[in-house]
Structure 1
C-alpha cells in the first residue's frame, strides 16, 4: 500500500540507505497525483522502475512521464537498455536550455528531493521555447551519457541517465510564459535542513545529485569559496553565514577556528538569470533573457534580492553541480587587504619568485601593471614566469617572439616603482621562442616560460628541455637556466616548470566516478624527463644545487609531485597542505611548489644550506575580485640567505 501524505510540500519518500524504495501517492489541494517509486529491481514497466509518473490531466486515462530516476547500479543499465525506444509522454515547465535540447520540470513538482520530477528532452535543431513555457512532449526513451565539453564525445565512464528524444512536431506549447499563471514546482532546499550531499563518498554524492537534474532549487545563501571567473563561482549552500571562510585541501569550507561547516552542499553558481521567484523571465529591452555576471571573492555571501537564491540545478557536461540563478543576486562583499611577506634582504641574499602571468600579452597593459605591482614589494633577483604569450597574443599570425610582451612588463615595473616609491632593479628578460603553435595554450599565443634576471646574477647558460620528447609534445616545455651569483661563489640551476594542465579532468562530485584527473599520465611522463635531466645535472655538476619552481598543475599528493619527492636527488619539497596557491574547482590546492635537489657531495659540504632557504606563498589573487587579479594563481617566493647573512 502506498503511503498517503497530505500536502504536496510534505511528500517524502521512505528511504533505505539513502535511496527511495516505496511508492508514494501525493494528495494535494488540487487532487491526488500518483508518483510510483519502487524497488530498483527488474520490473516490467518502465514508468515504475525508471521514472516518476502522473495521471496526465490533459489526456484522461494516460500517464505522463515527468521525472527520470537516475542510474543506480549495473542492473539499472542492463534493464534500461530494454526500454530504449519506448514511447512516453511528458509535460511541464521549461527550466532551461542546453546543447541539444532543454530541461522540463513537472509544473506541480513532487516537492521531494529524492523523487525526480524533471527530465531532459533531446531534440534536433533549435526550438522557439523559452524558459517558463508550459509544454507537452511526446517522444521515445533513450539512454544518454555525459559528453566531454571539449571533444563532444560521450564519456564512456560517466553515469548514464534517461532522456526523451523528441521531434519538433511532437512538442506542443500549452501556455507561453507570459500567459502562464499556474503552479510553479516547489524548489528543493539545498543545505541546512534540506538536501545535503555525502562529501566523503563522491560516487554516492554524484548519484544523489542526479536526482536534482533540471529542477528548481533554493538556498538561503551562498558562501563563495573561490573568486568568480567568467561570471561563475564555486562555493557552498548553507543556512548559516560565516565571517571568515578558508578552503582546505579537501575543498571543505572552514570557519576561522578551523571548524568545518556542517550541512552544506558544494556547487558552482553560474551567473545566468532564468526566472524570478514568480516564474517571470527577466528580459532586456530587446526581449532577451538577461545575464548577470557574478563578481565574488572568497568568503562573500550571496543572496537574492528577495531573500535566498532560487535557481535550476544542472548536472551539466562539465560533470559538476551547477545552479543557474533565476533572479538578481546581491553580494555582501568582504574587504580583503593584500598581504605580502616582509623580506629583510641582506646584501648577498638572493630572492626568486615564480609567477604564472595568466596569458600575458602586450595589449594586456592593465594586467601587466597588476603583475608589476605584485612584484614590487619583493626585492627580486630572479623572476620565474610562466604563460607569457608572444607579441600579438592569441592572433594566430605565426609570430613567436615575446620581446614586446616582456618590454611592456618591464615598463610597468618601472612605472609602478616610481609611483609607489619602491626600489627598481632593471631586469634582463631571457626566453627561448617556441615553434609556432607547438607549446599549447591559446592557439597563436605561443606561451612559454621566461626568466627575468637582475645584475645580482650572471646567466651561465639557458635552454628549453624536452623539445624532442613525446611527453612535451604540443605543450609548454621546461626552461632551464644556470646562474652564478656575482657576490658569492654560489652557482645553481633553476628549472622553470609549467606541466600539463588538468584539462579534461572531472569534478570530485561529478557524474564520472571515480573522478578523472586530467592529464595525469602526461604529467607523470613529463616528470620522468625532468628527473632524468636533473640527475644528469647533479652528476656533471655535483656542487650546483637544482631548484624546481613554477606551475606544476598538481597538488602535493598528486602522483607527479610524489614522484619528484621520492627521487634520490630530492632534498626537500617546500610546500605542505596549508600552502594554497590556487582554488581549483572550489578546492584549495598548492600548484606552486619549490623543490630543491642536491648531490650527496653538496649536502655534505653545505649541511646548513636548507636552513638558509625561506619559502613564502602569496595568496592575494585568491581573494581578489576577477578584475583586480594579476593571475589565477598565487606566487611562491624563495629567499636564499648567504652564509654570512
Structure 2
C-alpha cells in the first residue's frame, strides 16, 4: 500500500486549486514542490511511459531553467490502464510529496488525477540522452549540505527535506538527478558498476565522465568522492526481470527508461530488462605473485573475511581453494568471521576447533603444501555480534615450519593481554591475547587478537641461535549497520557505527603504540576487516594513534585499485593491512588485493570480501 504525507480524504472541491501550472513550475527549482498539497488544473503533457501504478508526463512547452524538471509522475493505477504512450493529455490533480521512509527523499508527483482529456495521439516520444547536451552528472559531491565531504563526522547534521536547498545540478549529484526527475532518458554504452541485488537492480555508468575508474570497469571510492555520477537501473516497466548474475564491469545493451526515486535511491526504470553484451576477461584474477622465502626476509601474510564460516558452510571448499591456489598458502593468515563449531545454531557452544580444522582440511584438499596450525580465543557466548548463534571471531592460521608463537600463553575470552618490557624487548602477558575485551568500545563487536611471533629459521646453536620476532593484531571492527543511503535525506549520510569504530581505533591504536614505545623498531602488522574507508575518521584516528602506516600507500597501490568489497555503486576497501615504520622503511614490502570475489557473480562468490596478501621482511629480532 502506498502512503502519502498529506490527507487524501478531502474532496477535490475543497482543495485550493491553482490553474494551468506548467510541469516545470510544479516541480520547482528545489527538492520539494512549491505547490505541495495543492490542487492544480489544466496540467498538460506528453505521456512518455507507464507502469501499473501510473504514467509519466513531459511538458510540451519546456522552460529554459535546467533546475526544473519538465516531467512528472501521475500516480493512479486506474488512469494507468487507459494511458497511452504518445498521447498528449490535460488533467487536474493534486501535488503530493511521497516517501515510504523518513530516511528517504520525497518524490514529487501528481495524485488523484481527474478530467483526463486526450488532446492528440501518436506523438513521437524522444528520450533525452545522458552525457549529451549538458546532461552530465557531477562526479564528486552529492549535496551542498555535505560540506564537501560525504563521509564527514559528525554526520546527519541536516536534512534535505527540511533545508530544501535550491538545486545546483552542475555541482551536486543529487541535485542533478532531481533536476531530471520523471524524464525519459537513455544511457548509451552502459557498464555494470557492481553486482545486482536480489531484484536485479544494477548500478551503471554510461558515456559521461566518471572518476574513480578502476581497471575492472567499476568506480572506486577515493578521498571525499563516492561517485554520485552512478545511477541504478531498477524494475523494468514491461514487467520483465533484470538478470541477477551481472558482474562488475560487464557491458550492457543501451538502456532507455524514466527517472524515478524509490527505496532510498534515484533510479532509472527501464522500458525492458537489462541485457549483458560482454564480460571482462580474465573471468578470475591470476594467483598472487608473492611467494614466501620461508625465512624472515620474505614472510607472506594473508587476510580474508571468510563470511560466517563453519564446518557446514557451502563455501568452505571454495575458501580453501582461494587460500591454497590464489593466495599461495601465506605463512600467516588473518581470518575474520570464523564461527563456532555448529555455526548459526544458537546454543552455548563457542569453541571453533571443528571449524578451524575443517578450514585447514579444505586448504589441504586444494593441494596446499602447507599444513596449517591455528589459534583463536573463544568469545563469550552471544557477546561479539554477527549472525545470531554464530559467535564469530578472528583467528590466525600459520605455517609451523616457518613461524610460531613466541612463548605461547593464550589468554581467555575476558583476559586482556598487555605489553611489558623484558630483557629481550617487549612481550605480551598473554600470547595470543585479546585487547581490552571489557572495554565498552567492543560492545556487541569482535575483540582484536594480538600475537607475538618468531620465525623458525635458525643459524648457529645454543645461545647463538637466531630468530626474528614480530607482532600482529587481527581486527574486525563493528559493522556499518544502520547507515543511510548516499541518496538519502540525512546529510552527510548516516555512517552506521562510526563513533564506535572511532573508539575501537583509539583502543587498538593505543595498544599498538605501547609496543612501539617499548621498541621503536618493532615489526608490527595489523590487518583485518576494519569496516571503514581509508580517508574516514576511524582509520585516520587509528593511523595517528597507532603510528602504523597503510601498506597500500607504502607500496604505492593505485588509489582506484584499492578495493576489496562492492556495495551499491562503489568498489571500496574495508579490509586493510598496516605496518610499523620499521617494516614500511624496508622497500621490499609488497602487497596485492586478489579479486576472487568482487569479479564474479553473487552466486559464484565464496565471500563478500576479497582477500589480500603481502610479503614483508621481518628480520631483525634476536633471542
TM-score by length of 2: 0.69
Return the offset for 1:51.
4.5
Residue matched to 1:189: 129
Q: How does 1:620-631 map to 2 (within 5 A)?
A: 620-631=596-607
Residue matched to 2:57: 106
Are residues 188 and 440 of structure 1, via their aligned partners in 2, closer, same or farther at CA, if it must alter by over 3 Å? farther
User: Pick from 545, 559, 564: which aligns with 2:537?
Assistant: 559
Q: How does 1:491-506 map to 2 (within 5 A)?
A: 491-506=469-484
**Structure 2 alignment gaps of length 5 or more:** 1-15, 144-171, 409-430, 458-465, 554-558
Residue matched to 2:303: 354
Return the offset for 1:527.
0.5
Return the offset for 1:548.
0.9
Q: Distance in 2 between matches of 1:48 and 1:474?
A: 58
Q: Does 1:333 align with 2:279?
A: yes
Q: Is the 8 A contact 1:93 1:133 kept in 2?
A: no
Residue matched to 1:478: 448
Residue matched to 1:274: 237
Q: How does 1:162-311 map to 2 (within 5 A)?
A: 162-163=108-109, 186-193=126-133, 195-203=135-143, 204-230=172-198, 231-238=200-207, 245-247=216-218, 249-250=220-221, 265-270=229-234, 272-275=235-238, 289-303=239-253, 308-311=254-257
Are residues 265 and 537 of structure 1, via their aligned partners in 2, closer, same or farther at CA, if it must alter by over 3 Å? closer
Return the offset for 1:219.
1.6
Return the offset for 1:240.
11
User: Pick from 63, 71, 77: which aligns with 2:30?
Assistant: 71
- Deviation string for 1:433-474 (max 9, x for gaps)? 3432x4333344433222223313333222333543332222
Q: Is the 8 A contact 1:499 1:523 kept in 2?
A: yes
Q: Distance in 1 between matches of 2:385 and 2:285?
A: 32
Return the offset for 1:137.
9.6
Q: Distance in 2 between matches of 1:132 and 1:398?
A: 61
Q: Is the 8 A contact 1:217 1:312 kept in 2?
A: yes
Q: Distance in 2 between matches of 1:443 and 1:295?
A: 28
User: Pick from 416, 422, 436: which aligns with 2:366?
Assistant: 416
Q: How does 1:552-591 map to 2 (within 5 A)?
A: 552-567=530-545, 569-576=546-553, 577=559, 578-591=561-574
Residue matched to 1:86: 38
- Secondary structure of 1:526's counterpart equals helix
Residue matched to 2:435: 465
Return the offset for 1:375.
0.9
- Deviation string for 1:53-88 (max 9, x for gaps)? 8xxxxxxxxxxxxx644625xxx68xx4xx554335
Q: Is the 8 A contact 2:303 2:527 kept in 1?
A: yes
Residue matched to 1:448: 393
Return the offset for 1:639.
2.0
Are residues 434 and 119 of structure 1, via their aligned partners in 2, closer, same or farther at CA, if it must alter by over 3 Å? farther
- Secondary structure of 2:509's counterpart equals helix
Q: Decide which moves more: 473-482 or 85-94.
A: 85-94
Q: Does 1:375 align with 2:323?
A: yes
Q: Distance in 1 between matches of 2:179 and 2:566?
A: 27
Query: How many residue pairs are counted as aligned between the two chains?
Result: 516
TM-score by length of 1: 0.67
Q: Distance in 2 between matches of 1:243 and 1:580?
A: 9
RMSD after superposition: 4.4
Are residues 50 and 219 of structure 1, via their aligned partners in 2, closer, same or farther at CA, if it must alter by over 3 Å? same
Q: Is the 8 A contact 1:434 1:448 kept in 2?
A: no
**Structure 1 alignment gaps of length 5 or more:** 1-43, 54-66, 176-180, 253-260, 276-288
Bigger relative contact order (CA 8 A; separation at least 6): 2
Return the offset for 1:48.
7.9
Q: Distance in 2 between matches of 1:490 and 1:318?
A: 53
Q: Is the 8 A contact 1:234 1:267 kept in 2?
A: yes
Residue matched to 1:26: none
Are residues 443 and 379 of structure 1, via their aligned partners in 2, closer, same or farther at CA, if it must alter by over 3 Å? closer
- Deviation string for 1:542-595 (max 9, x for gaps)? 77543210112222222222222223x514321132533334443343332221
Return the offset for 1:392.
4.7
Q: Distance in 1 between matches of 2:565 and 2:287?
A: 17
- Deviation string for 1:345-369 (max 9, x for gaps)? 223243221101133344433x222
Residue matched to 2:3: none
Q: Distance in 2 between matches of 1:638 and 1:141?
A: 58
Return the offset for 1:423.
1.7
Are residues 532 and 345 of structure 1, via their aligned partners in 2, closer, same or farther at CA, if it must alter by over 3 Å? closer
Q: Is the 8 A contact 1:527 1:560 kept in 2?
A: yes
